[in-house]
Every structure is written in C-alpha cells, then in structure tokens.
C-alpha cells in the first residue's frame, strides 16, 4: 500500500512540475505516474553507475556533478517516453529537476509533521 501511495505522489509531483515549468509537458496523470517511475528507475540504475564513476569529481564539486547527472537522466527519460513526456532542453530539464526537488521537499516535510 505504501508503494502505491508513493507512486501516486510521484505522479502528482511530476504532473505539478510539468504544469509549472514552461517547456515541460506530460500527456496526463497516468503518464505522469509512468514518467515518475521511469525517471526513478533510470536515475537509480544508470545514474547510480555514473555517480560511482564520477565520485571523485562529484566530491570536488560538492555534489554538482550528481545534480547534472540527475538532469541528464531526466533528458534520457524524455527520449525513452517519446511524446508522452517532453522536456525542451537542458535548461528546462534543470528547472524541472529543481521544481521536483522543491515539491518533494515540501511533501516530505508535511509527512514528517504527522508522525
């Protein structure tokens, strides 16, 4: 049950971020859920491998390389999803990643208050 709620929240976050960020579109809420899942899987698998190889550079840049890898994983998810999820370019993907992080931070702080 917790996985389903997490998946729905991820879809909502992606849908809200696509609504806020100009140049980012998602075809609907169902596709937003799938997009969130694809971004998460791509970021975990390919992004994890890239973070492992770029660890020294990531350490020197105080995590900036990790953020750039996340942006690149959003662009890769855009290519994998076809026309159901579209991000216009690198800077749009950067803004999309920032908005998603802020929304997830707000949701995380609200859920911790209830415990």
CA-to-CA separations, 8 to 13, 20, 86, in angstroms, rounded: 9, 18, 20
* Exposure b/e, 19-55, CB count within 10 A at least 16 = b: eebeebebbeeebbbbbbebbbebbeeebeebbeebe
Mean pLDDT across 55-82: 94
Domain boundaries, the chain: 2-97
pLDDT band at 114 (very low <50, low <70, confident <90, very high): low
pLDDT of residue 113: 60
- DSSP class of residue 1? -
Q: Give 12-54 pLDDT, tens digit per residue.
A: 999 999 999 999 999 999 999 999 999 999 999 999 999 999 9
Percent of the chain topping pLDDT 70: 97
CA–CA distances in Å: residue 69 to residues 9, 39, 74, 76, 115:
23, 12, 9, 10, 33
What rounded mean pLDDT belongs to the chain? 92
φ, ψ for residue 66, nearest 5 deg: -65, -40
């Amino acid at each position: 049950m917790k996985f389903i709620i997490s998946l729905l929240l991820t879809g909502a976050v992606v849908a809200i971020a696509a609504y806020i960020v100009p140049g980012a579109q998602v075809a609907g809420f169902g596709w937003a859920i799938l997009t969130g899942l694809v971004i998460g899987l791509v970021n975990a698998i390919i992004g994890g491998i890239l973070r492992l190889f770029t660890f020294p550079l990531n350490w020197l840049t105080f995590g900036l390389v990790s953020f750039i890898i996340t942006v690149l994983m959003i662009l890769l998810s855009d290519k994998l999803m076809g026309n159901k999820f579209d991000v216009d370019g690198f800077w749009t993907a950067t803004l999309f990643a920032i908005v998603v992080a802020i929304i997830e931070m707000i949701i995380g702080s609200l859920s911790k208050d209830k415990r």
